[in-house]
Copies of this chain bind each other. A is one copy, B any other.
Amino acid sequence: MTFEFDRDTLLEPRGDGRYDADLAPGWVVGGGVNGGYLLAMIGRAIAAELAAKAPAKAHQDPFSVSAHFTSAAVPGPAYVQTELVRSGGRFSTVQARLVQDVDGVPVPRIAAHGTYGDLDSAHDPASEAAAQALGIRLPAPVLPPPEECFESRDAPPEFKKIAPLLERFGTRFDPAYAMWSVGQPSRSGVIQGWFKLADERPLDPIALLMVLDALPPVTFDLGLPGWAPTLELTAHVRAKPAPGWVVVRHATRTVAGGLFEEDCEVWDSTGRLVAQSRQLALQPRPV
């Protein structure tokens, strides 16, 4: 069987660093295509370009991907134009731009860079022992078990109609920060829960790029349910995830000047921090 995520991020190499894509309608949410899905598409193109241009190095894992969102993508044909910036011993950096043609004019949707390497060989044993002794490790939040959380697929049909994205996920929201769904936001600026893909597709480093922008904006929990367009999002993948549920936490600490930053962390089923991101997004207008 082919999982939805793999089918919908399929790329066709066209030479000269170009990879053709088809943005699937199933990843639409409100006014555009989900940013995490687009980030994973870019992440896959970067891995493909590195496999083509520097195959001996096996730099297939994203360590950092930074993306500037320049216009809203729409479902349909798109392409990722990549260019190898530099391939070093431990890391390689690729520039990647997601583009859609509009009336024959190429319109950039996302301008990105990715620095890739090999997550399995990123550290030496002495450094890892020193790091473990330090004990500087952000712990996962304690959540109620998944069966006591709110399931996103239980959303009302009229909401799912404008957010088909919800059908892709098996998200279970922590009820403590999910009461915005019944008009009672906690006003903490936090959204967290358990996450998996609806069709149980296992998560890997590329899929984590998608997980980092899979939940609704934290402004929902602040009583601002509007569209919160991302200006920029940078993802850091810290380790390969173990099988099973991941825990995802989003929080903002500063809403000011028309903008807010949203930090996201992802822990795997062993409690290890596997990915984190920060995005700068536009504050939704009050309704």
Copies of the protein in its oligomer: 2
A250 CB-CB contact with B under 8 Å: no
A52 CB-CB contact with B under 8 Å: no
Q: Classify chain A's interface size.
A: 35 or more
Among the interface residues A126, A137, A239, A254, which one has the most CB atoms of the partner chain B within 10 A?
A254
Q: Are B111 and A255 in contact (CB under 8 A)?
A: no
Specify the chain B residue showing the minimal Cβ separation from A115.
B68
With contacts A85-B111, A130-B286 known, is A257 near B234, CB below 8 A? no
CB contact between A257 and one of B93, B97, B122, B259 (< 8 Å): that residue: B122
Q: Are A66 and B63 in contact (CB under 8 A)?
A: no
CB contact between A71 and one of B86, B131, B252, B254 (< 8 Å): that residue: B86
Specify the chain B residue showing the minimal Cβ separation from A117.
B231
User: Could you say which residues of chain B place their CB within 8 Å of the CB of A122?
Assistant: 257-259
Q: Are B113 and A86 in contact (CB under 8 A)?
A: no
A261 CB-CB contact with B under 8 Å: yes
Among the interface residues A88, A131, A286, which one has the most CB atoms of the partner chain B within 10 A?
A131
Within 8 A of B (CB), among A252-266: 252-261
Residue-by-residue, is A104-123 near B (CB-CB < 8 Å gives 1, otherwise 0)? 00011001111100010011
Q: Are B189 and A136 in contact (CB under 8 A)?
A: yes
Q: Which of A22-30, A34-42, A273-281 contacts B (4 or more CB under 8 A)?
A: A273-281
Q: Are A285 and B127 in contact (CB under 8 A)?
A: yes
Q: What are 9 A-B pairs with beta-carbon distances under 8 A? A: A63-B232, A64-B232, A70-B88, A124-B285, A127-B258, A127-B283, A130-B286, A131-B256, A238-B256
Known interface pairs A137-B253, A239-B256; 10 further A-B residue pairs with C-beta atoms within 8 A, sorted by A's residue number: A63-B231, A66-B66, A122-B258, A122-B259, A124-B258, A127-B283, A130-B283, A134-B187, A134-B189, A254-B276
